Amino acid sequence: MTKYVADKLTELLRVNPFYEICGLITDNGDVIEIANVAKHKANNYVFDTLSYYSELRELKRLNIKVVATWHSHPHCNSEPSTLDIEYFLKSEYDMVIVSFDGVRELKHA
Ligand SMILES: [Zn+2]
């Protein structure tokens, strides 16, 4: 993860201290935010399906690949939750979690 990505995620967390925010990180080092449509946004996140798939389509058109998903933990440290680990193991992407203690990366081997 580049310093740009880490700084950008930290900044997004700072301006969104109440609810989890989430999105994608691309292989050209960009951070994309996807709307969180979870019912309990303070401690959970669910990508808005329409924005998620329209982003994926647009990235594919531009030949840009998604390398990781990211989300914030505004109310706890960057330790992955049980659900986070479950998602990570099922996902083809790496996972990045940003909290006030820093930015943590879960990488597939
Ligand atoms: Zn989490």
Tell me the CATH number at 67: 3.40.140.10
Verdict on whether the full-model pTM lies above 0.85:
yes
CB 107 within 8 A of CB 94: yes
pLDDT score for 13? 98
Name the residue range of residue 83's domain. 3-106
Expressed in angstroms and rounded, the spacing between residue 1 Cα and the centre of ligand 1 is: 18
pLDDT score for 109? 84
pLDDT score for 57? 97
pLDDT score for 107? 97
Expressed in angstroms and rounded, the spacing between residue 28 Cα and the centre of ligand 1 is: 24
Expressed in angstroms and rounded, the spacing between residue 4 Cα and the centre of ligand 1 is: 21
Expressed in angstroms and rounded, the spacing between residue 16 Cα and the centre of ligand 1 is: 15
How many domains would you assign to the chain?
A: 1
- The b/e string for 10-41 (b: 16+ C-beta within 10 A; e otherwise) is eebbeeeeebbbbbbbbeeeebbbbebebeeb
Expressed in angstroms and rounded, the spacing between residue 14 Cα and the centre of ligand 1 is: 16
**Residue carrying the six token digits 């982003």:** 55
Expressed in angstroms and rounded, the spacing between residue 97 Cα and the centre of ligand 1 is: 7
Residues in the chain with pLDDT < 50? Answer: none
Expressed in angstroms and rounded, the spacing between residue 88 Cα and the centre of ligand 1 is: 10
